[in-house]
Amino acid sequence: MLRKAFSRLFCGTEKRAVDRADYDAKDIDYLKAQVGRAKLPLHVAIIMDGNGRWAQRQGLPRLSGHAAGGGKAEEIVKFAQEIGIKHVTLYVFSTENWRRPKYEVEGLMNLLAEMFEKRLQDLVEYGARIKVIGRRDRLPQHVLRAIIGVEDKTEANAGIFVNLAIDYGGRDEITRAVQQLADKAVLGEIKPESISEEHVSSHLYTAGVPGPDLIVRTGGEMRISNFLIWQSAYAELVFSPVLWPDFSERDLLLAILEYQRRDRRFGSL
Ligand code: IPE
Ligand code: IPE
Ligand code: MG
């Protein structure tokens, strides 16, 4: 106790970390009220990691972890909307995830198609605007069709903006932006020396979306794995040890509380 108070006084980083134990006995309404007392992140991005390990720990095939993860994504988006978050970006499938065994990739694609087809009505009803970011040229036709269906159906919604990153990679996204800008330069539409950060931003999949304020990675790994590498320049990173299918509304609130304790200086003093 004394040691904790001492380090709070003298160690700058101590005050920022949310001590989960401090909130163990608190109910969700208490956490919501705490979160409501400070500024909410406008845009929360989540690296939903740990589905495979979650399944394996229970002796289940990895794909059942992905199925559980899909349901969790829906639950967390609804909760984010309820607490007033405006933009959510979820990392669903990376440009590197094609390296996984064929069986897992195919299973994931089928789950995705099913998710987009079945949950469509639900998504429309709760006012979410769904947009998929990432390459579209490598997705199976049935997945692409299902995606476009949901995007069209939710186009007029404005409750919460949900970006689903599918066949998404930050390097791939930047490479494409560079290609488009080079094309414009060759056509004389833009001068190379006038290319600005705004030009680059507006050629990314996330054009028009504010950068994430908070990036949460579940599953215990502490890396960015090619997610929003341009947009995350000044995002606050919070790592949770919880495997994605076990991630709860409480865990999201704890991540936001941690974000709210950070001092965002943006290079200034
Ligand atoms: C994240 O869970 C979902 C995808 C990458 C598609 P993982 O499948 O990476 O789960 P772990 O990291 O192996 O537990
Ligand atoms: C990141 O998780 C991608 C998604 C969550 C979709 P990975 O499991 O693919 O990341 P690495 O391989 O551990 O870096
Ligand atoms: Mg993983």
> What is the arithmetic mean of pLDDT over 41-70?
98
Backbone angles phi, psi at 162, to 5 degrees: -115, 115
| Spatial contact of 18 and 260, defined as CB atoms under 8 Å apart | no
Query: Could you tell me if residue 27 is inside a domain?
Result: no
Query: Could you tell me if residue 186 is inside a domain?
Result: yes
Residue with tokens 């500024």: 39
Query: Could you tell me if residue 202 is inside a domain?
Result: yes
The three-class DSSP label of residue 11 is coil
Residue 97 catalytic? Answer: yes
Decide if pLDDT at 46 tops 80: yes
| Spatial contact of 159 and 81, defined as CB atoms under 8 Å apart | yes
Fill in the DSSP letter of residue 261.
Answer: H
CB atoms within 10 A of CB 186: 10
Query: Could you tell me if residue 11 is inside a domain?
Result: no
Q: Domain of 110: which CATH number?
A: 3.40.1180.10
Tokens of 58: 């229970």
The predicted-structure confidence for 88-124, as pLDDT tens digits, reads as follows 999 999 999 999 999 999 999 999 999 999 876 677 7
Query: Could you tell me if residue 112 is inside a domain?
Result: yes
Q: How many domains does the chain have?
A: 1
Strand ranges for the chain from DSSP E: 43-47, 87-94, 128-133, 160-168, 214-217, 236-239
**Boundaries of domain holding 166:** 40-261
Query: Could you tell me if residue 31 is inside a domain?
Result: no
List the catalytic residue out of 49, 167, 213, 251: 49
For ligand 1, pick from 47, 48, 49 the residue to mutate: most ligand atoms within 8 Å of CB: 49
Q: Can you give the pTM of this predicted structure?
A: 0.93
Q: Is the CB of 53 under 6 A from ligand 1?
A: yes
The predicted-structure confidence for 175-204, as pLDDT tens digits, reads as follows 999 999 999 999 999 999 999 999 999 999
Query: Could you tell me if residue 3 is inside a domain?
Result: no
| Spatial contact of 244 and 92, defined as CB atoms under 8 Å apart | no
Provide the pLDDT confidence category of residue 15 given band limits of 50, 70 and 90: low
Partners of 165 in the β-ladder: 91, 133
For the chain, what is the total number of helices (H) and then of strands (E)?
A: 11, 6
Ligand 1 centre from 147 Cα, in Å?
A: 21
Query: Could you tell me if residue 33 is inside a domain?
Result: no
| Spatial contact of 92 and 48, defined as CB atoms under 8 Å apart | yes
For ligand 2, pick from 56, 66, 94, 240 the residue to mutate: most ligand atoms within 8 Å of CB: 94
